[in-house]
Every structure is written in C-alpha cells, then in structure tokens.
Amino acid sequence: MLSDKLKEGTEVLLDNKTKDSEHYYKSVVIVEEGSLIGLAPVTDEDGDFVDFSDGETSISVIGTNDVFEDVKILPVDFHGKRIYLTYGKKEEATRNYHREFRRFPVNEACKVNDYDAKLFDVSEQGFAVILDRQYKPGLWLELNWKGIKLFGKIMQAKDLDNGNWFYGCKIDEIPNNYTKQVKMMQIDFEYLVNSPVGGTEEKEKKK
C-alpha cells in the first residue's frame, strides 16, 4: 500500500504520462495522515505549478524499486500556497493509526476558530485542516463546514514550511449532520478511486 512506503521526508519521483509526452518531477512527503499523503509542490520547466490533471501519474520511491502506478494526485490550494493530496488505488492494509477510522479527502474551504482554512480530510471521529495559524497539540479547534459546527482536539500538528500548519484533530461530540456528510464523502471517495485517471475519453484515445 502507498501509505506503507511513503513517510514524512520520503523523496519520490512523479512520472506523468500524457498522450503526447512524459515528464518526471521530484517531490517529498511533507504530511503522512494514515492512508492519505501530502506532497510538496512541483513546477514545470516554465516555473508553473503542475496540477497533474492530464494523463496518468505514477509514484516511485527514490532509492528503492517501489513504484505505484495510476495514482490520483489532487492539488490543495490555500491562500496561494499549494501542496498535493494523494492516495493509492489499492485496498489499504489493516493498520493502527492515530485515528482508528478511515479518512476521506475533502479539499474544501472551511472556517476554523473563525479563520479561513482548508479542510484536508474527514473521518467518522476526526478531521484534518490546513490553517495559517499556529496552535499547540492538545488545544481545541472549532470547525465550521457546510453549516456543521463541531470541536476537535489537536492530536497532530505539522509545520508545512510554507506559512501554513497542518492539524489532525479528534472530535469529542459528533453531530448527526457531520456523520451524514462523512458518509457522503465516502461515496465520493470510492467513485474517485475506482474511476480511470484522466477520464474514460482519454483511455479510449490510447487504445
């Protein structure tokens, strides 16, 4: 499984293949959140941010023979500072994480303590956010997202070295509307993971 190999600080090579070209980009893991991985941004030869929206992308772990084909890479943009959210298509193995429940990527705007933030992922009993404010582990954050308000205790804090911080939080009291929204995210996640990278149309062109 992808998350078994990619830990914070792991250097990787991103191989992006389109119908007309193939490009390689070097990146590094800056956040490891269970089965979800945050990668440092990369730019092309013109200095433009690469969004990996075209073709197929594989991830190779530098210094090993580990290669993960057909990987989805989702840009996360907060206040002009960008990273990537990625996860493998293969079924994840049973592991013990800080959060016991499976996470689902969100990548949507939210409010945290009345500040603008980016909701990174959700699970049945937790969430992760990116915020341009620094807090210590153990403190509580108020999340306001899609009309849902709840409190999460910071269990993990990570400086992303771009003016933003990543926080993994555990929820104390879970409202019903949050549980319902997480189930909807699960459906969206399963569709994303099982759909072809680059879309069906691109696949047909390559045949």
Beta strands in the chain (DSSP E): 11-17, 22-33, 36-39, 56-61, 67-68, 72-78, 81-87, 104-112, 115-123, 126-131, 140-145, 148-159, 165-171
What is the pLDDT, as a whole number, of residue 191? Answer: 66
Q: What is the pLDDT of residues 131-140, one digit of tens each?
A: 999 999 999 9
Residue 69 — pLDDT band, cuts 50, 70, 90?
confident
Q: What is the pLDDT of residues 82-111, one digit of tens each?
A: 999 987 544 333 333 344 567 788 889 999
Percent of the chain with pLDDT over 70: 84
* Cβ(124)–Cβ(133) below 8 Å: no
What is the pLDDT, as a whole number, of residue 97? Answer: 35
Nearest to 131 by CA among 171, 98, 168, 182: 168
Say whether pLDDT at 156 is over 60: yes
Q: What is the mean pLDDT of residues 141-168?
A: 94
Tell me the Cα Rg of the chain.
Answer: 17
Q: What is the mean pLDDT of residues 111-130?
A: 94
| Lowest-pLDDT range of 3-12, 99-108, 173-182 | 99-108
Nearest to 3 by CA among 28, 30, 37, 29: 37
Cα–Cα distance measured from residue 53 to residue 181, given in angstroms and rounded to the nearest whole number: 26
Say whether pLDDT at 65 is over 50: yes
Residues 6 or more apart whose Cβ sits within 8 Å of residue 122: 103, 104, 106, 128, 178, 181, 182, 185
**Residue 71, Cβ neighbours under 10 Å: how many?**
21
pTM score, whole prediction: 0.67
Tokens standing for residue 58: 């594989």
What is the pLDDT, as a whole number, of residue 33? Answer: 81
